[in-house]
Structure 1
Amino acid sequence: FMKQRQAIPFGAATSYVHLEKLCEGSCATVYKGISRINSQLVALKVIKLEAEEGVPFTAIREASLLKCLKHANIILLHDIIQTKETLTFVFEYMHTDLAQYMAQHPGGLHYCNVMLFMFQLLRGLAYIHQQHILHRDLKPQNLLISCLGELKLADFGLARAQSIPRQTYSSEVVTLWYRPPDVLLGATVYSSDIDIWSAGCIFVEMIQGQPIFAATSGTHEQLEKIWAV
């Protein structure tokens, strides 16, 4: 199931049908959809455009990076469709995400599944790091899983191309529970290790069934939980 698939041809808003809403955030709504061309299921990420602000920078960044990334463990972007009111990303459809999968299997995953998912996570990370890209927002919700057990990195809105020589980046990245201590302390110079820390946290979470560092009150408590280990 690791075979790479090619993008399918879309081209217009009429090429697909919305089937059901999957989730809704502050900036975008994700729908399950189907292609009118070949009846293949897709995920439609619909971003509302503000008249004054235009296309969000995170959307531009995600689109530009995903158009260049082609790998079995990276979510496949089929097409981008823009209207006056919305920008729609058409992705391959994935059955669930790692957060939902772990919620359905409380107490920790079977070691075979942990190895399967961790191998694919690290393989996807190795690929984007070889392309000098940092994901910067790894968490179970951003790791999508197909009905065949394929795991794919998704949501590249905070991802950045790594410059040589290194430049400073924002320290306001990565969801708190998966953020490394140096970034929690305000570091703005970092490399692929920011993603490796997050992957390690996810690895432990798959084994024990709950986040290893789950602060509820902010950065200070998060650091205390890390230092206590």
Structure 2
Amino acid sequence: MEKYEILETIGHGSFGCVYKAHKRDTNEIVALKMIYSIDGDEGVPSSVIREVSYLKEMDHSNIVRLLDVLDDEKILCLVLEYMDLDLKKFMTTSADIAKKNQVIKSLMHQLLDGLAYCHSEKLLHRDLKPQNLLIDCSKHILKLADFGSAREIGVPLQTYTEGEKVASLWYKAPELLLGGQKYSTPVDIWSAGCVFAELVIQQPLFDGATDFVQVIKLFSVMGKPNEETWPGVTSIIFFLIIKSWEGREENLNLQKN
């Protein structure tokens, strides 16, 4: 750690903090993602192991680069290339620029290019959202980051028991909201579509306060699925719960608390 001089804090999370730092010998500016939740009994969190493993293998201009991994007693540090800010902050601090059609096209092209690379490598990101998309303002480059929820795609499709725990609520695909445990690349495409809509309208497309309200919001706009439009949907347990509420949606408070 002595090789780096911490300049400022740029992010917080359940894992720890992210710092902007200066590498003393090369003058390079980097991001240090400190993982503090390392316990002597439990060891390194599995999400961190996955993230390190995947980032080491990936090489694409729209995927954030892992430069080094430092292990200092109970702190694990990922040294990542430094990016100016995330897409959420970009939309907030550069609203006039973020609303321009050419900027939106460029950002979405880069997002989908990076995502296509992930999928070609048989990898699901599973947590695409503006906060996990990083921007280099001077070069107008977007990069996918935070691969802690990523998983390899199995053939045939595997059963992912933690499916209900992945993806942030407002960007979560319907199959995850309904409790589906077999899913593939469409869950990332759905999230990318939600990001696209947010760039255009400058606010989240679906902003439910709970999984249940989020599903109702989706159905109110997209229509309720059936076996013809979505084969197998009626076998998903949560879908049956939703069906039991038919005719009573008007009694739900669909607004965020």
Normalising to structure 1: TM-score of the pair? 0.92
Paired position in structure 2 for 1:190:
183
Q: Structure 2: 5+ residue runs without aligned partners?
A: 222-257
The residue correspondences of 1:125-164 to structure 2 (distance < 5 A) are: 125-147=115-137, 148-164=139-155
Question: Aligned Cα RMSD in Å?
Answer: 1.1
Q: Which amino acid aligns with 1:129?
A: H
Matched, 1:55 2:48: no
Matched, 1:28 2:6: no
Structure label with greater radius of gyration? 2
Cα distance in 2 for residues equivalent to 1:41 and 1:176: 33
How far apart are residue 52 of structure 1 and its match?
2.1
Cα distance in 2 for residues equivalent to 1:35 and 1:141: 25
Decide which of 94, 102, 112 is 1:122's aligned counterpart: 112
Paired position in structure 2 for 1:206:
199
Cα distance in 1 for residues equivalent to 2:67 and 2:192: 26
Give the fraction of aligned pairs with identical amino acids, expressed as a percent.
45
Cα distance in 2 for residues equivalent to 1:183 and 1:210: 22
Cα distance in 1 for residues equivalent to 2:19 and 2:175: 37
How far apart are residue 168 of structure 1 and its match?
0.6
Bigger RCO of structures 1 and 2 (CA < 8 A, at least 6 apart): 1
The residue correspondences of 1:165-184 to structure 2 (distance < 5 A) are: 165-169=156-160, 170-171=162-163, 172-184=165-177
Q: Secondary structure at the match of 1:22?
A: strand
Paired position in structure 2 for 1:6:
none
* Count of matched residue pairs: 216
Q: Secondary structure at the match of 2:53?
A: helix
Normalising to structure 2: TM-score of the pair? 0.82
How far apart are residue 106 of structure 1 and its match?
4.2
The residue correspondences of 1:60-75 to structure 2 (distance < 5 A) are: 60-75=49-64
Decide which of 105, 110, 125 is 2:100's aligned counterpart: 110
Higher helix share: 2
Decide which of 217, 221, 237 is 1:225's aligned counterpart: 217
Cα distance in 1 for residues equivalent to 2:58 and 2:178: 31
How far apart are residue 38 of structure 1 and its match?
1.0
The residue correspondences of 1:79-90 to structure 2 (distance < 5 A) are: 79-90=68-79
Q: Which amino acid aligns with 2:171?
A: Y
